[in-house]
């Protein structure tokens, strides 16, 4: 399933801009998100959903500016390695999605708030929510975790790159809930995201295109809504 060769199509200037973007993504934007949640969560749920779309729209635009050349090359890579990317998407949805749904039946001490949040936003504002979870969030997160973090580590070691990328993304999905709610049990929910994270990483390794991972990521988010009966 894995490609025989590997090359990160990122220029030196993109590496520099990417580092700035990653620092903003990790250190600044989470604080901004927390502030927006406090400002609008008690006022208007529809407005909060729209604010979230604008928030990720800004991240999307910054990612496009920082990685414009990389994204164009990866789009060509998607077509050049179309069978590998399609295989990664289909196998990823089947295995990663199946394992995720299976893990849902285990007796977790707390319930995963992420799909419930998506579902609530979808009920309030379907159109903007679909744009959020099927395009904006997948592309931003895949550029960060697969394109930049995995891509750079992959040049040194595939096992190290896969391990760090898979674990880091899984933890990133739940750590804020553990901190905001003061309940470390939410960190256990990272296990739920390991199959998804592993499938996304394998898709990038085999197809070499962050766009393939974005499609797979969107599929996982759509599957979450479907599992909730939406």
pLDDT-derived band at 42 (thresholds 50, 70, 90) equals low
pLDDT-derived band at 40 (thresholds 50, 70, 90) equals low
How high is the pLDDT of residue 36? Answer: 74
219 or 40, higher pLDDT = 219
* Cα angle 86-92-98, degrees, rounded to a multiple of 5: 140
Residue 4 has pLDDT above 80, yes or no: no
Query: What is the C-alpha to C-alpha distance for residues 217 and 141, in angstroms, rounded to an integer?
Result: 9
| Residue 4 DSSP label | S
Q: In the numeric block, which tokens belong to residue 64? A: 């496009």
101 or 194, higher pLDDT = 194
Give the pLDDT confidence of 137-187 residue by residue, as tens digits: 999 999 999 999 999 999 889 999 999 999 999 999 999 899 888 999 999
Q: How many CB atoms are closer than 10 A to CB 2?
A: 11
Query: What is the C-alpha to C-alpha distance for residues 203 and 148, in angstroms, rounded to an integer?
Result: 15
Query: What is the C-alpha to C-alpha distance for residues 25 and 8, in angstroms, rounded to an integer?
Result: 21
CB burial class (10 A; 0-12, 13-18, 19+) of residue 31? exposed
Mean pLDDT of the chain: 89
Query: What is the C-alpha to C-alpha distance for residues 189 and 187, in angstroms, rounded to an integer?
Result: 5
Residue 75 has pLDDT above 80, yes or no: yes
pTM: 0.92
| Three-state DSSP state, 8 | coil
How high is the pLDDT of residue 125? Answer: 85
């Amino acid at each position: 399933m894995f490609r025989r060769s590997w090359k990160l199509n990122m220029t030196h200037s993109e590496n520099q801009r990417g580092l700035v973007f990653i620092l903003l993504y990790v250190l600044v934007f989470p604080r901004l998100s927390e502030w927006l949640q406090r400002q609008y969560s008690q006022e208007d749920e529809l407005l909060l959903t729209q604010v979230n779309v604008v928030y990720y729209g800004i991240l999307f635009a910054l990612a496009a500016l920082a990685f414009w050349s990389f994204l164009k090359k990866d789009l060509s890579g998607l077509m050049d390695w179309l069978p590998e990317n399609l295989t990664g998407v289909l196998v990823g949805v089947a295995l990663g999605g199946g394992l995720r749904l299976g893990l849902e039946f285990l007796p977790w001490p707390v319930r995963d708030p992420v799909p419930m949040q998506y579902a609530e936003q979808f009920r309030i504002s379907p159109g903007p929510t679909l744009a959020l979870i099927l395009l904006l969030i997948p592309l931003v997160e895949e550029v960060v975790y697969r394109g930049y973090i995995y891509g750079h580590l992959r040049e040194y070691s595939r096992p190290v790159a896969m391990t760090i990328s898979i674990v880091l993304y899984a933890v990133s999905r739940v750590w804020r809930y553990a901190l905001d709610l003061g309940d470390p049990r939410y960190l256990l929910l990272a296990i739920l995201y390991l199959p998804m994270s592993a499938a996304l990483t394998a898709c990038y390794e085999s197809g070499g295109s962050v766009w393939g991972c974005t499609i797979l990521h969107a599929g996982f988010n759509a599957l979450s809504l479907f599992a909730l009966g939406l």
